[in-house]
Amino acid sequence: MTGIRRIFIANRGEIAVRIIRSARALGIETVLGVSRADRESLGAKLATRAVVLGPAPSRDSYLRVGTVIEAARGTGCDAVHPGYGFLSENRDLAQACAEAGLIFIGPTPDNLSAVGDKLTARAHAIAAGVPVVPGGTVESAADALALAETVGFPMLIKAVAGGGGKGMKRVDDAQSLPAQLDLAMAEAEAAFGDPRVYLERFVTVGRHVEVQILSDGDTVLHAGERDCSVQRRYQKVVEEAPAPHLPPEMRQGLLDAAVLYARHIGYRSLGTVEFLVDVARGAFYFLEMNARVQVEHPVTEAITGLDLIALQIAIAEGTPLTLTQDDIHLSGHAIECRLNAEDPARDFMPSPGRVTQAWFPPVPGLRVDTHMQPGAMIPPYYDSMVAKLIVWGATRDEAIDRMKTALAVCVLEGVTTNASLHRAILSDGDFRKGGVDTNFLGGLLQQPGGLT
């Protein structure tokens, strides 16, 4: 396969800027597809060229497969990079790229089919010998009650096509199960057009740990794990690598299971296998595989020295991995804080508007991934994340201290951000100790003065 000369980036915001940076270093031109709301964005200015896909709403621009393909071909691109979100895990886009003679910088259509449906992904885990949370599919209240007798309460109802906590309900007893099941199915239908749900044992004290995978279709490597347990309403807020205070046997088990899963489905590209660690039982379970670059990929880059986007592009070109597992060395500790334009004091209400000041001064070990600059507009149509602050330290304590310094000196004015939330997290004694579970942030927010 010949090398890629020009990439069409079907995304926006900080990930578009991030892809442009790696492409430029590789000598590859970029064309950025933008909505009308993003015509003056930093990504549009940095790309070799920008083209308008359509109006501001995602459904009329970033989510239109046919428009993306037409724009990529019309601008002479060889490849399409979908970033994360939007069409990044859309099988139709990957298939349309193949039919149009474009390289999809991501996994194969078959890979996307294997992991895009949670039940199919779960079945692959079972076939690969990777542990899954006890549970199963249900179609009625009678099914759910029968399954509950085997698995036990509390249970979690999850939408098959879901994500971001939508269609997800905790159930603590048999009396509330039928009503919660109906509610979850209706919510799943409204959000995803698919009412299917399944039930799993609810892990009351769990950690969210994920493994970064690299595969060219033959060689499967891991680049360590990340801890993403600091979450609000199932949305990640702070991520770090490596995961603190994991028993060595469990850490190795997670890494091995992720490689086993990727090898089982013949995965090719960058990807992340996510697990739930049951703290009480000392066990871990497969959650899902994200067949794309993750928001939090910079923490892995910080501790490995790898450029994951560059590797993703090389794999898409058909270049075999020259790395071996022994070539990937983990050094120090890295933490990422997602800076969102939202107001923690008003139940995290989004805070769109114009940025009047954006200043990210040098701090030892600090990397900032952002599309913000003075005068930038934050539209109300998209995700509220405006920057990622990533720090590296020789130790976890040093990384925490550097992040606290970064939050103190970095300036983003004109809109309200969740910087106060990050300061509260980093100052919390339990977080400092390391190894918090997914209940941590909810408990912190309920404390008096939790954001001071």
Radius of gyration of the chain (CA): 21
Asked if residues 377 and 56 have their Cβ atoms less than 8 Å apart, the reply is no
Please tell me whether residues 37 and 80 are part of one structural domain: yes
Of the given ranges (90-99, 153-162, 317-326), which has the lowest mean pLDDT? 153-162
User: DSSP readout, 150-171?
Assistant: HH-SSEEEEETT--TTTT-EEE
Strands, E assignment, 26-144: 29-35, 49-54, 79-81, 103-104, 135-138
State the pLDDT at residue 118: 84
Q: Where among 157, 176, 201 does a domain terminate?
A: 201
CATH number for the domain including 365? 3.30.470.20
Please tell me whether residues 163 and 223 are part of one structural domain: no
Angle at 132 between CA 126 and CA 138, to 5 degrees: 90
Query: Exactly one of 18, 292, 367, 402 is catalytic; which is it?
Result: 292
State the pLDDT at residue 166: 74
Q: For residue 181, what are the domain limits?
A: 134-201
pLDDT band for 157, please (50, 70, 90 cuts).
Answer: very high
Please tell me whether residues 188 and 263 are part of one structural domain: no
Model pTM score: 0.94
φ, ψ for residue 37, nearest 5 deg: -75, -20
Q: Where among 155, 181, 201 does a domain terminate?
A: 201
- Kindly state the average pLDDT of the residues 81-100: 97
Alpha carbon separation from 256 to 167, 261, 449 (Å, rounded): 31, 9, 42
pLDDT band for 253, please (50, 70, 90 cuts).
Answer: very high
Residue carrying structure tokens 């997914």:
438
State the pLDDT at residue 24: 97
Asked if residue 118 is part of any domain, the answer here is no
Asked if residue 318 is part of any domain, the answer here is yes
**pLDDT > 80? residue 165:** no
Please tell me whether residues 217 and 163 are part of one structural domain: no
Please tell me whether residues 281 and 421 are part of one structural domain: yes
Task: Kindly report, residue by residue over 409-447, the tens digit of the pLDDT.
Answer: 999 999 999 999 999 999 999 999 999 999 999 999 988
Please tell me whether residues 77 and 150 are part of one structural domain: no
CATH number for the domain including 180? 3.30.1490.20
Asked if residue 123 is part of any domain, the answer here is no
**pLDDT > 60? residue 306:** yes
pLDDT band for 1, please (50, 70, 90 cuts).
Answer: very low
Please tell me whether residues 319 and 424 are part of one structural domain: yes
Please tell me whether residues 413 and 343 are part of one structural domain: yes
State the pLDDT at residue 414: 97
Q: Are strands 283-290 and 268-278 parallel, antiparallel or unpaired?
A: antiparallel
Please tell me whether residues 248 and 381 are part of one structural domain: yes
Please tell me whether residues 347 and 442 are part of one structural domain: yes
Residue carrying structure tokens 């190795």:
252
Query: CA nearest 314: which of 353, 270, 250, 264?
Result: 270
Q: Which residues pair with 235 in a beta bridge?
A: 232
Please tell me whether residues 297 and 385 are part of one structural domain: yes
Asked if residue 117 is part of any domain, the answer here is no
Asked if residue 125 is part of any domain, the answer here is no
Distance CA 171, CA 148 (A): 10
pLDDT band for 451, please (50, 70, 90 cuts).
Answer: low
Q: Where among 105, 121, 150 does a domain terminate?
A: 105
- Alpha-carbon dihedral of residues 187, 190, 191, 194, nearest 10 degrees? 90
State the pLDDT at residue 348: 95
Please tell me whether residues 441 and 375 are part of one structural domain: yes
Task: For residue 292, indicate whether it is catalytic.
Answer: yes
Residue-averaged pLDDT of the chain: 95
Q: Say how many domains are in the chain.
A: 3
Task: Kindly report, residue by residue over 51-82, the tens digit of the pLDDT.
Answer: 999 999 999 999 999 999 999 999 999 999 99
Asked if residue 291 is part of any domain, the answer here is yes
